[in-house]
Structure 1
């Protein structure tokens, strides 16, 4: 398998698929999901939330809208044994400070 590691704005990367993690409620308020939402709009969120309820390990594949990819893959991560909390994420990701 061949892959590249690229630094930059993920919403500007050309790829077959762009991947982000989302919470089971698909709020998509910060991080990569927030960047996708800011660039694409609420249509993407509506497409993902039609697949609810989502569980850890689920992946929802959507169209890429105007992003330079074929698909967007929205994955609900499996818990890391409780190592991350809402507070720890909000404290370490300044983009999450706008999340409600």
Structure 2
């Protein structure tokens, strides 16, 4: 049984086996969570991302997929990069968002990670409404078949924390 916990704070300050990065498909860093993870984790993460781009992901990591690298200087063993979908008012992309959580947990299982910290994927620049993102995240993690013992949702502000707390209860 996976325990789900909520933390209001900075995902780059978490002590876990794996930190999930809400990456862009280039894997080469960006803004928001992605930029923060690359800045705090240092150049080793970008180096491994470049190697992934040069080998398996020449066109970038597809939306809904996940891949792991070192965590560099973060207090974790791995960073699991996943590419969330951009929210659309005309097309239902919920399955792609759910896939980010499922695929990240699948990669965590392959690595042997037992504690995983997730951000609220796609809720920043990709404009996914927080309430719907929280519903998808919590339902997907609750129904996932995984050996991960703790999933920690690390939420940047009070609004996100309260929204996830309401969905968890």
Instruction: Report the TM-score when normalising by structure 2.
Output: 0.45
Say whether 1:2 aligns with 2:9. Answer: no
Structure 1 residues without counterparts, runs of 5 or longer: 91-100
Q: 1:89 aligns with which of 85, 105, 125?
A: 125
Say whether 1:35 aligns with 2:71. Answer: no
Q: 1:67 aligns with which of 61, 68, 74?
A: 74
Contact 1:22 1:33 in 2 (8 A): yes
Match of 1:55 in 2: 62
Q: How big is the shift at 1:14?
A: 0.7
Higher helix share: 2
Judged with a 3 Å threshold, the aligned counterparts in structure 2 of structure 1 residues 47 and 20 are, in CA distance, closer, same or farther, namely same
Judged with a 3 Å threshold, the aligned counterparts in structure 2 of structure 1 residues 82 and 70 are, in CA distance, closer, same or farther, namely farther
Contact 2:44 2:70 in 1 (8 A): no
Q: How big is the shift at 1:89?
A: 2.6
Instruction: Report the TM-score when normalising by structure 1.
Output: 0.71
Match of 1:24 in 2: 25
* Aligned counterparts of 2:17 and 2:4: Cα–Cα separation in 1: 12
Q: How many residues in Structure 1 have an aligned counterpart in Structure 2?
A: 86
Structure 2 residues without counterparts, runs of 5 or longer: 91-123, 127-169
Contact 1:44 1:62 in 2 (8 A): yes
After superposition, the CA RMSD in angstroms is 2.3
* Aligned counterparts of 2:13 and 2:33: Cα–Cα separation in 1: 12
